[in-house]
Amino acid sequence: MARLAGRTAIVTGGAKGIGRHYSKALAGEGARVMIADIADGTDLAQELDSRHGQGTALSSVTDVSDESQVKDLVAKTIDSFGKIDILVNNAAMYVALHEQPFIDIDVALWDRVMAVNVRGSFLMAKHVARHMMKQRYGKIINIGSGTTFRGIPKMAHYVTSKGAVVAMTRTLSRELGEHGICINTLAPGFTLSETVVADNPEHVNTSKAGAIQRRALKRDMHPPDLLGALVFLASSDSDFYTGQILAVDGGAVNT
């Protein structure tokens, strides 16, 4: 049975990498999906329409750090789908970042990482929550990272930004609960997304072996490993679950 039949979702960063898998998984469970990314998601929207029926998916080229673009995205989603039940805050600067000592990180890069990873998630939640409040139901899934538990070196901007996402999730859960809205952090371990493999082999080299060694389940992690947890957080199965971190990493950290 489709667990998200009749639901509508926005997936930020939904055109590429792990986000592309999230978009497909939500559509596969019956949701209509707005794919929002700085990359063009037209091909994916067409693929989802042909697989699940016309009107399943739309795409929007949107920079989540820009409030006017976020407002336009939310308005377009409401115009097209009539409501928003699920928000997946997945867009982030991750693969684009190269490891460097924190004393070498430029202020401009630091600020850009915070603008996309933290402000972007805030802006999306801010403008989507208004609509969720009216219907007294919603699911916000913020994508964190296992790096926040260990504080990996040479990614200080990224790790700090994902720590902020966890804190934001907790504080927003206290405001959103009375409106029937659940908000949680999904924290993946090191995942061999198509984008990290193709675009950041240096990071794969430093992370892959250690990630397996730290896990209880000793193997590589791939995007499909996250989809069961994603659908759980997006569906009514998690209606009494909010403000939490759900770590999916083969048992590397125990939350």
Ligand X SMILES: NC(=O)c1ccc[n+]([C@@H]2O[C@H](COP(=O)([O-])OP(=O)(O)OC[C@H]3O[C@@H](n4cnc5c(N)ncnc54)[C@H](O)[C@@H]3O)[C@@H](O)[C@H]2O)c1
Q: Which residues are catalytic?
A: 158
Report in angstroms how near the CB of residue 65 gets to ligand X at its nearest: 5
The answer to whether the Cα torsion of 161, 16, 121, 61 is positive or negative is positive
Residue with smaller CB distance to ligand X, 115 or 133: 115
Residues that bind ligand X (CB under 6 A): 12-13, 15-19, 37-39, 62-65, 90-95, 116, 120, 143, 145-146, 188, 190-191, 193, 195-196
Distance, CA of 93 to CA of 174 (rounded, Å): 27
Give the DSSP letter string of 116-147: IIIIHHHHHHHHHHHHHHHHT-EEEEEE--TH
Distance, CA of 188 to CA of 222 (rounded, Å): 10
Report in angstroms how near the CB of residue 242 gets to ligand X at its nearest: 20
Q: Which two tokens stand for residue 71?
A: 């407002």
Report in angstroms how near the CB of residue 131 gets to ligand X at its nearest: 20
Q: Which residues pair with 170 in a beta bridge?
A: none
Report in angstroms how near the CB of residue 252 gets to ligand X at its nearest: 11
Residue with smaller CB distance to ligand X, 19 or 138: 19
Residue with smaller CB distance to ligand X, 31 or 97: 97
Residue with smaller CB distance to ligand X, 135 or 205: 205
| CA distances to 22, 29, 69, 95 from 99, in Å | 26, 37, 30, 10
Decide if 23 contacts 57 (C-beta within 8 A): yes
Q: Which single residue brings its beta carbon nearest to ligand X? A: 17
Distance, CA of 117 to CA of 119 (rounded, Å): 6
